[in-house]
Structures are given as C-alpha cells and as structure tokens.
Chain A
Amino acid sequence: MAAPVNHDTIVLERLYDASPARVFQAFADPEARMGWGAPSSSTGLVYDEADFRVGGLDISRCGPKSNLIYRVETRYHDIVPEQRIIWTEVVSEGANRLSFSLITVEIKAAQGGTKLTLTDQIAAFGGASMIEGSRAGFNAALDNLHAELART
C-alpha cells in the first residue's frame, strides 16, 4: 500500500525595504531566482526551462552544488503583476516524487516597503520530513532575497 500522504500549511512573512515591483521581479525573472533561491552557499539552483506565465512550466534542479539531485517542476496557475503569484511545484528525486505544493505569494505595499506572505500548502509523500525541508528551504531563500534586494 502507498503510505498515507502528509498535508500541512506553512506560512512565512517578510517585510522588504524595496518596492512591490522589485519584489515581484525577483520572482518573475529566473536569472534573479537563481541568485537568491538556493538556501545556502553550498547549495545550487539551476533552471533548465522557464516560462513565467499562467499555464507555463519551469524545470529546475537543486541540491548540493556538486550534485543537484532534486528536480522541481513548477507550473504557474495565477499571476497578478506586482500583487500575486500562485504556482504548484513537484519535487522529485529520480523516479520518486517527494512532495507536491501549492504556493501563493502575496505582495503588498507596506511601511514604505513591501510585505510578502508566502503560503505553502504541501502534500508530502513517504514521510513528513519534506514538510520541514520545504519550510527551512523557503525560510532561507526569503532571507537571501532580503540580502539580494539590499545589494541591487
């Protein structure tokens, strides 16, 4: 029998000292995402395909820099420029699907900058460790985005 699926919802918030347009662009542009999307300096994120539009598909690989073992398939479901992006992502390792997430990023002008809320509604296959992995990964990436926005 297939193991039961673990479902969870992760909500992360950040306040960025940048305009909603710049924050939106950091998500819309795959080149920019490669700069901040990997959780640490020892991990990598490479986009093989990118198509940022409703119905479009991105294919990326991530993991330790020397061994990008995870494949991520991203499909965009809703895009409202400078306000909202909704996508699903499937994370696999070889033939094994590890998790499937519905992710909503909401972007709002706040306190002279931008408030970002990321909601990750995740279904994890074969154990709950992918839920904590997903939380840690997005937490680190959103922190990196802070540095990226301050730098550019």
Chain B
Amino acid sequence: MTKRSVTHSTFRIERSYDATPEQVFFALADKASKRSWFVEGEGWQVESFEMDFRPGGVERSSFRYQGGPVVSNNTVYQDIVENQRIVFAYSMAVGENRISASLGTIELFAEGAGTKLAYTEQGAFLDGHDNVAQREAGCRELYEALAVELQRNRSAA
C-alpha cells in the first residue's frame, strides 16, 4: 500500500521577455506555438498533445524522457483574460501514479517595450513522488524555452 502524504508549497517565477504581451500571450494560447516550447524539449518524446484553450477547456499531453515511463499532464483552463492572465489547474502523473495537483496563475505585465511574466504555482505534491524544488526548476526551464520560442516567432515574422 502506498504511503500517503501531501506537501503543499507555493512558488513564484518572474521572467522578462523582449516581446509584447500580445506575442507572449500568443505563444501561450496557440496550440502549435505552445507545443513547440512546452512539450518538445530536447530528449523528450511526445506521445500526445491536445489543447482546447478556453475556460473549461482541457489540455492533455503525454511524453517520455529518453525512453523512461510515460509522464502525463492534465490541465483544465479556468480563467483567461486575453493578453493579461491565464489561470488553470493541472495534475501530473508518472505511469499510474499521480504525483501532483496544482493551480497555476500566469500574469502578463507590459514592461517598456517588453513583457514581464509572473507565474505563481500553488502545488500539492503527492506521496513523495515529486517535490517543489524539482517542480520550480522544471518550470524555470520551461519559461527559458518560451524565450527561445518568442525569438523563433520573431525571426519567422
């Protein structure tokens, strides 16, 4: 029997981008753009990616890292204010084990010609499968990948 435990923790990441709030919002809201920075990391094999970006809409993705077990992300969007705010709930699982449930708030603030993104995650980490330090590090990598994506979108325009 799994020993049950829950660790609650909140962290906040701030990252400034050399892109407008509209451009940052696009990379968060557009399925193709989000897929490229959110799940297609180096060494990751994407098994599935579905995204329905509207309040109540669901995003599901599953992927493996270098042939490891399937990691899945199940997100429900709850509140969307165009170019300003996205609030969602998501849970993560590795194989059959649910490892976390979290509430995520992304806020976008115009900052000169660029954008400050603030991401706040309120997480419940389950049964010792994951921890907040690991999650925060993972999220920081994702918001770095977003910077690369914004650069790519700008070059393509």
The chain A residues found within 8 Å of chain B, CB to CB, are 1-2, 4-5, 7, 9, 11, 75, 77-78, 80, 83-84, 86, 88, 90, 97, 100-102, 104, 106, 119, 121-123, 125
Contacts and interface: CB of A to CB of B under 8 A. Distances in A.
A97 to B, nearest CB: 5
B89 A77 contact: yes
A90 B103 contact: no
Contact of B8 (A5, A90, A121): A121
15 contacts: A1-B84, A2-B85, A5-B85, A5-B87, A7-B10, A7-B122, A9-B10, A86-B6, A88-B103, A97-B78, A100-B87, A102-B101, A102-B103, A104-B124, A121-B10
A4 to B, nearest CB: 7
Chain B facing A: main interface SS? strand
Task: Classify the interface of chain A: helix, strand, loop or mixed.
Answer: strand
Interface residues of B, number: 25
Given A75-B89, A121-B122, A5 B105 contact: yes
A119 B4 contact: no
A106 to B, nearest CB: 6
A86 B120 contact: no
Contacts of A84: 4, 6
